[in-house]
Each structure stands twice: as C-alpha cells, then as structure tokens.
Amino acid sequence: MNTQANFAPTASIASRRNPVATKSSTQLLCWSIQRELWEYRSIYIAPLVVAAIYLFGYWLSLIWLPPQGVRENLIPSMRDITPLDAAHRLVPLAMPYAHAGMLTTFVAVLVAIFYSLDALYGERRDRSILFWKSLPVSDLITVLSKASIPLVILPLVVFAITVVVQLAMRLSSMAVLSLGSSGGAAILWRQLPLFEMQIVLLYGLVVMALWLAPIYAWLILVSGSARRAPFLWAVLPAVAIAVFEKIAFGTAHFGWLIQNRLFGFSAAAFDLTDKNGVPVDPHFIPINCLAPGRFLANPGLWLGLLVAALFLAAAVRIRRYRAPL
C-alpha cells in the first residue's frame, strides 16, 4: 500500500518534467514532422518563392500590354483563341495554369532530393543527433517523420500553393479581359475547367510520391550511413552498376530500371492517348485519362514500395548505432 502511495507522486512528477514521455506515437510523429518543418524551412519557402515569381511574371504579362492588346489579347493571344472551336481552345487556355503546377512540382522534387540527402546526415554533421537522441522519440518515428516530408508534406504544399496561384491567375485574367469587349472573360470562365485540372494535379502528385518512394528512401538511407559527400555515395553505386553491366554483358537493364523509376510514373498512371490513339497534350489532361486501377495493379509500384520499406528499415537501424561525425 505504501509502495503504491509513494510511486504515484513520483510518476506524476516525472510526467510533468518530461511531457514528451506521455505522448502517443502519433503525437510524437506529428511533433517530429513539425520539427522538420521548423528546421528545414526550404520545404515550403522554395515552392512559395518560385510560385510567387511565376505569378508576378504572369501579372506583368497581363498589364504590360497596350490598350488595344488589353481588349483583344490574353496570354496566349485571345485573338487567336476566339475563332477556334471549344476543343482546340482548351490547351492554349490551360497552358499558363499547367506551367504553374509543373514549375512548382519540379522545384518541390529538387527540394525533396536535397532534403532526403541531408535528413540524417545533417544531424550527425552538426552533432545535434546527441540532443535528439536524448528525447524519448524512437529512431523509427524519427525516420518516418523524415520520410513523410517528400512523400506527404511536399505534395500537399505543392497542391495548396498551386491552387492559390491558379485561382489568382484566373481572377486577374478575367479582370483584365473584362475591360475589353471580345468576350474573353466569358470564354475563360466557361471553357477552362480549372477544378478538373486541380484534381488531375492532386492525382499526379500522389502518383509521383508513391512511384519515387524508393528513390527518396535510398537517399535517406545514404544520408544516415555516409561519412561525407552523401550525394556521391547515392549516385556512384548506380553509375558503377550500370557501367559494369554494359561492359560485362552489353546490356542496359539496370539503367532502364532507374530511368523507369524516375520518369515512368506517367505511363503507369495515365492513359495519354485519346480514343483515336492521338497523344494527349500534357498541358491539359482530362480526368478520363487517369488510370488509377492500372496504376494500383502495376507490380512495379508495389515492388518499389517494398524496396522503400526495406531502405527505411535499414535507415532506422543505422541511425540507432550511428555516431556523430
């Protein structure tokens, strides 16, 4: 009885001194992700800056027109778009909006690559790993929080930024076009399915994250094991294997595998031809070109996710025993 009475205050004092110890695994994971966003602000600053520059340039292109051009032109020329039928207007109207999403996505992929290379290497380089290991946060939660940045957080950041930029582009374009009498604002409002484009963008971001998961996991693994120059340790093994295969067997299967893992998501998740077999312009991909069933049935997807899980498991074990640099 006395033992229980004495133990309760002690446990209560310990929990007050170390509130992290009382948190669940989900709370610890969310806290670790917040810590990553706090430490690596380029995760959201870089896409924001690029999107802001693109939007500013788009606004300049709208206002940097003579009065006659304001009445008759949109970027691209509304004078050229108006005589076209509805089917041929879609791609020219959607092009600047698609470029905004493509540019932000490209920058986010670069951020994801460099973040993954520095995810575990950085804390060993500045010896902050000693502090983080003193907290009751397991190596598994730490590695999962770092893997969630390129796989979950960055796609969400890109989608949110792109939606805001596209809405700003549409409203500003309609405001400029409404000054004229060519009916350009009505054409832009009726014939540009912006919501459909955003659904396709979200689907594409999810597809890219899942397809590139083994690449990001490999970079995180190298980040946790390399003593210096993690970029070289991440790239040189693949180059060495490809060169060895070419010299020894005269084939390029490994190189094709890497190329397919980097760029093959579009062929796996989209049906980029219409019913007549004509290629679809990537600036506007209709919803009926999405192929989620075929993507989920692709063995390469699940094999890649399995390899990613193995890489992350190895990264957890390496971080457990890795000392600061």
* Confidence class for position 85, pLDDT limits 50, 70, 90: very low
Residue identified by tokens 């995810």 is 119
pLDDT given at position 189: 57
pLDDT given at position 256: 94
Handedness of CA 194, 196, 202, 208 (dihedral sign): negative
The full set of domain ranges for the chain reads: 25-321
* Average pLDDT for 18-26: 65
Q: How far is CA 75 from CA 60, 93, 172, 215, in A?
A: 11, 8, 12, 37
* Confidence class for position 11, pLDDT limits 50, 70, 90: very low
% pLDDT > 70, the chain: 80
**What is the reported pTM?**
0.84
Q: How far is Cα 317 from Cα 137, in angstroms, rounded to an integer?
A: 14
Q: How far is Cα 113 from Cα 107, in angstroms, rounded to an integer?
A: 10
> Is residue 98 over pLDDT 50?
yes
Q: How far is CA 28 from CA 98, 137, 151, 184, in A?
A: 37, 7, 18, 52
Phi, psi of 277, deg, nearest 5 = 80, 10
pLDDT given at position 171: 86
Inter-residue contact 90 to 192 (CB < 8 Å): yes
Q: What is the pLDDT of residues 224-259, one digit of tens each?
A: 998 889 999 999 999 999 999 999 998 999 999 999
For residue 291, how far is the Cα from the chain centroid? Answer: 20
Residue identified by tokens 């009475």 is 5
Per this entry, what is the length of the chain? 325
Q: Among 121, 124, 117, which Cα is nearest to 324's? A: 124
**Residues facing residue 279 across a β-bridge:** 273
Query: b/e per residue, 151-163, with b = 16+ CB within 10 A?
Result: bebbbebbbebbb
Of 26-35, 118-127, 188-197, 221-230, least confident by mean pLDDT is 188-197
pLDDT: which is higher, 292 or 184 = 292
Q: How far is CA 12 from CA 24, 135, 273, in A?
A: 17, 18, 65
* Average pLDDT for 114-122: 93
Round the average pLDDT of the chain to a whole number and report it.
83
Phi, psi of 290, deg, nearest 5 = -75, 140
At 3, the amino acid letter reads T
> Is residue 221 over pLDDT 90?
yes
Half-sphere exposure of 62 (CA within 13 A, CB side): 20
pLDDT given at position 75: 46
Looking at residue 105, what DSSP letter applies? H
pLDDT given at position 22: 55
